[in-house]
Amino acid sequence: MLNIFTLANGRLFQEEIESLEELSRFQPIWVDLESPTLEEKRWIKQYYGLSIPEDVMDEDIEESARFYEEDNGELHIRSDFLIADDDEPRTVRVAFILNLVNDDLKSKGVLFSIHDEDVPVFRLLRMRARRAPGLIEDAKEVLLKLFDADAEYSADTLEGIYIDLEKVSTKVLSGDVTDVMAGEVLGAIARHEDLSGRIRRNVMDTRRAVSFMMRSKMLNAEQFEEARQILRDIDSLDSHTAFLFDKINFLMDATVGFININQNKIIKIFSVASVALLPPTLIASVYGMNFKLMPELDWALGYPYALLLMAASAVVPMWYFRRRGWLK
């Protein structure tokens, strides 16, 4: 899918392009390619003179492969954007290409973004830019607003995690944690820990991208200050993610502790039962001997006497354990 965005009366308007002729009718500031086909890439190259590299979506992590400037003046930024899906949270790699200096190409002043699936941050920016006149002024502003919205999206997701962890805390600290509940709680904690880790990685990547924009001297004074504000917002998220990781670890330890307590209760019951059955076992072993000269062998009440003795030897320890509170 190939979408272009134009400015009209200070608002951002979207058009879906289905042919090269349609592309030539507009003067966009942002061209968004979602899972582009070979034909759509050919349109971009033919009209804008922009070649999209084959490795544009590579998963390289070194900074030199993700933030760099070509000899023709094109700025390349590869950044990850979070998708906080309940079933499958993930990050999506987005490649940005921006030409600000080469007047010979129609791509000057146009931001190109390439990604494999729709990103919530992109939808958020499109909605805001349609409703708020003057929010976007040029292609650099689009890129900055995307990173700003990404930081805000990460912050909202962190707040959602905190709310969910509060519900988990209520269950865990209620004291009545069954094995089934403990399994559900551990599953929820594991999901929140995974999402928190993705958020931390996402904001770290956003910080690197914004820092590169500031170093490249592509921003004017107002945009530079806006970039600094984005970095300050990201710094505030670091302490929040650290707090959430501490809370997650606490809830994990508390849940595992309750599981151990439940297991110890079961083991205690088996231990008490085995100790209580030792005296009857001893009595049965004595009267199970095959010695000829045993006084009780010829006694008519010997059998019920042995049974009564075994029952009494089992009841007395259980009564003692119960009185000491060991059966609770």
Instruction: Name, in order, each residue with C-beta under 8 angstroms of 183's C-beta and a sequence gap of 6 or more.
Output: none
- Which candidate, 35, 64, 63, places its Cα nearest to that of 52? 35
pLDDT at res. 328: 66
**Tens-digit pLDDT profile for residues 137-185:** 888 888 899 999 999 999 999 888 888 888 888 888 777 777 778 788 8
pTM over 0.85, yes/no: no
Calculate the CA dihedral of residues 124, 149, 81, 95 and round it to 10 degrees.
90
Segments in the chain below pLDDT 70: 55-65, 102, 326-328
pLDDT at res. 61: 55
- Sign of the Cα torsion 263, 268, 274, 276 reads negative
Q: What phi, psi does 293 have (nearest 5°)? A: -95, 75
- Which candidate, 315, 321, 327, 305, places its Cα nearest to that of 277? 315
Task: Give the CB-side neighbour count of residue 131, counting CA atoms within 13 A.
Answer: 6
In angstroms, how far is CA 323 from the centroid of its own chain? 50
CA 18/CA 22 separation, integer angstroms: 7
Q: What phi, psi does 80 have (nearest 5°)? A: -100, 140
Q: What phi, psi does 76 have (nearest 5°)? A: -115, 125
DSSP letters, 266-280, are HHHHHHHHHHHTHHH
Instruction: Write the CA distances from 88 to 57, 61, 221, integer angstroms.
Output: 20, 22, 40
pLDDT at res. 62: 55
Structure tokens at 88: 């499958």
pLDDT at res. 229: 93
